[in-house]
Amino acid sequence: MGKQASTALNVDGHELVITNPNKMLWPEMGITKVRFIQELIRLSPFLLPACRDRYLTTIRYPDGVDGHFFYQKNAPAPTPAFVHTAVQEGIEYVVLQHVPTLIWLGNLACIEYHPSLHRVQDPFPSEWIIDLDPSVQEEERIMEAAAIVGQLLQQLGIHSIPKTSGATGVQLVIPIKKGPSFTQLKELGLLLATYLCEQHPKLFTIERFKKNRGDRIYIDYMQHDAGRTIAAPYTPRATRYASVSMPLTWDEVHRNPKPREFNLLNAAERLQAIGDLIQQAVPQPIEAVLQALSAQMLTKQT
């Protein structure tokens, strides 16, 4: 079979070439590269704000989700002039600022988008994220676990937005006013995780090694740190069902949806109906909680 014809797009004054548009990226879902790019464009009003001004790592699947993959940190060469980049620790990252860059990455089969947890040249975290990571492939309790964590945060006066990771887990996104450091948020995360493990010992764990967790859900408070990434809200994922990391309402969480219910074929319609739950949230101060943590730690030391 000969090579598939390319197709050209003109977006915001930039000429973009889509190579092998009919290449199948998600065979089970029948999603080709050109359909993937079409859906990326529809997701762009939501995915771009989640990635803008951040160091971006992507995961590329040149032969589709059933083929080999690799993490792309350095900007792929040749890098078009319209692509913004930023250097951190010797790596020249793509900074995903606009639709032409997103289409360019989509054409390279960059399926997953994992931005930094802080903005370019800003050492402070842009939000706080609590990552709930199942130890088994099909975890029926993941939404129950998210609800328990969300309720505890609410008791502390902290509003959170749950989102599916797009794979098996759930993350709680906490919009915060700028100020707390990564170290402070990790300490607070450890305190909350330890309390949750004490209250629900059969449900939660902070055991780092998966082989020692049994079927408990890992509260990965350490993932939220400088230099690390978490799957962006609204990023596609390389699952066989083309899932998309999707913010949820708490009412939806209580209905116990499966993460795979939100995918490339239905995500845009959902978002047009409910909007961006994360961008709609108001950043909140959490200094009072951090001060209470500091006072508790000081009491323990004395």
- Give tens-digit pLDDT for 124-133: 999 999 999 9
| pLDDT digits 0-9 by tens, 45-78 | 999 999 999 999 999 999 999 999 999 999 999 9
Strands (E), the chain: 7-11, 14-18, 24-26, 31-32, 54-60, 70-72, 84-88, 91-95, 110-119, 127-133, 161-164, 170-175, 204-205, 217-220
DSSP label at residue 286: -
Global pTM value: 0.94
Please tell me the least confidently modeled range out of 53-57, 131-135, 280-284, 291-295: 291-295
Look at residue 141 and tell me whether its pLDDT is greater than 70.
Answer: yes
